[in-house]
Amino acid sequence: MMIVDWDDAYANGPHIEGADDYPGIWQKRAKAFRDELGARARLDIAYGEGERQRLDLFLPAGTTAGLAMFVHGGYWKAFDKSTWSHLARGAVESGWAVAMPSYTLAPEARIAGITEEIARALGVASEMVAGPVCLAGHSAGGHLVSRMLCRNAPLGETLRARIGNVVSISGLHDLRPLLRLEMNRILGLDDAEAVMESPALQYPAEGARLTCWVGSEERPEFLRQNDLLANIWTGLGAETSAVHALGKHHFDVIADLEDANSALTRLLTGERN
């Protein structure tokens, strides 16, 4: 069906019951998790000179299996790392150190600049934790972790070779439709940047392993964006899969990251479906 109202096509909150309650719930759970970890929560580590160029690192109790990084969403223009700490629980309890960066938000930063910041954050975190690296991101964060798998990602070869599983949760992989949205007054995308920053329009790096994970109850555009990247990158030689999590919507699709035994956490930290 042809899209007429582009802003509604990419609006999540108006289509989720109790949407306004979620940020407060996330913040409470995030704080409780940080408090629970105590000294194993290393907060506000600088990865650059910018005010928001800070990351939190959550450490497991025993031997560290490797580094996981979670990148938050918010259409590149909202939230910071402090809202999502609890989503590290599943990986931490599985023995992984988890990095969560904030990044400069639009309109102060363009999306291309945010991509550079995430690469820088990953570089700093990877120097602090040895072993394999896995990445997850939600919504705009799904876009950003997918960009780390692109052939033209701003990563060194050594770091790129450490990256194993990447999970884009409800990710935005073709940014060209956003040129039609009112929010682009904030994002400031133009045609060239929309193409350059769209993983679906770029080549995957050699050996890329990507899962595109979306809630089955999400907006049709998010379902399309999810399956689009898995489809295209399969044709370009990447190892990909597309998952529709039954009964999940855009705001609760990430909740399983709190559970070490969930399919989502197991997938991120090493078990393939």
pLDDT in tens, 162-181: 999 999 999 999 999 999 99
Q: Is 209 left (phi over 0), alpha (psi -120 to 50) or beta?
A: beta
Integer Cα distance of 40 and 139 in angstroms: 27
User: pLDDT at residue 71 above 60?
Assistant: yes
Short-list 147, 105, 139, CA closest to 122: 147
Cβ atoms of 211 and 204 closer than 8 Å: no
Determine the average pLDDT of the residues in 151-161.
97
Position 270 scores a pLDDT of 87
CB atoms closer than 10 angstroms to residue 102: 24
Determine the average pLDDT of the residues in 132-156.
98
Position 215 scores a pLDDT of 98
Cβ-Cβ contacts under 8 Å for 218 (sequence gap 6 or more)? 12, 170, 248, 249, 250, 253
Q: Which helix (H) or strand (E) holds 118?
A: helix 111-128
User: pLDDT at residue 272 above 60?
Assistant: no
